[in-house]
Chains A and B, each alone.
Chain A
Amino acid sequence: RKEVEQDPGPFNVPEGATVAFNCTYSNSASQSFFWYRQDCRKEPKLLMSVYSSGNEDGRFTAQLNRASQYISLLIRDSKLSDSATYLCVVNAAGNNRKLIWGLGTSLAVNP
């Protein structure tokens, strides 16, 4: 099993749709979880840290399910500008400072 797994997509959704991505991780002791966004040929940019209680930032909601070892990202009222690759990041086994990255999920929001 890969340390961090994501559905690569692509997810094609119309503007205004709600879309959800899941990411599973193998290290049950992981403590740090993040979602990053990466536009084509650009660097990843932090979208959200994911906290145990779940957290929301505007149209974006991140949740952590430790029992099933997955994190999710929900995007409501999708905008064209949300089109990007969304990368799931988890810290490595026994190492809080080393991050393991998923391959990313590609989202295309269509007019």
Chain B
Amino acid sequence: DAGVTQSPTHLIKTRGQQVTLRCSPKSGHDTVSWYQQALGQGPQFIFQYYEEEERQRGNFPDRFSGHQFPNYSSELNVNALLLGDSALYLCASSMLAGGKETQYFGPGTRLLVL
């Protein structure tokens, strides 16, 4: 049973460019949450998708958008990249069962914006 997978593992972009990050959830999970983690910080919630719709959103600008596909995989898109977008982007998958939910993380995509 594959865990959460993310691609690519590393990415270098320049300011103003656009980037797309991808995530496949654990088998049986229907929910994908995206986080940004800067060095020395805890993960910051970007948004969450289930049933192919954005259901929750953190305090991130509209430059951050996403999508969830029928197979539950998800993409995170960031437009007009800024230097401050350099971070580890984490995807977590989960499913709500019996009122309980636990998130499991992929290895992350390390984005560097120059």
Contact = CB atoms under 8 A, between A and B. Distances in A.
Interface of A: 4, 32, 34, 41-46, 49, 87, 95-104
Contacts of A103: 40-42
Contacts, number: 50
Interface of B: 31, 33, 35, 40-45, 48, 55-56, 58, 88, 90, 96, 99-108
A44 B105 contact: yes
Contact of B42 (A41, A45, A95, A102): A102
B105 A98 contact: no
A22 B33 CA distance: 26
A104 B106 CA distance: 19
Contacts of A100: 45
Contact of B103 (A41, A96, A99): A99
Nearest to A100: B45
B107 A42 contact: yes
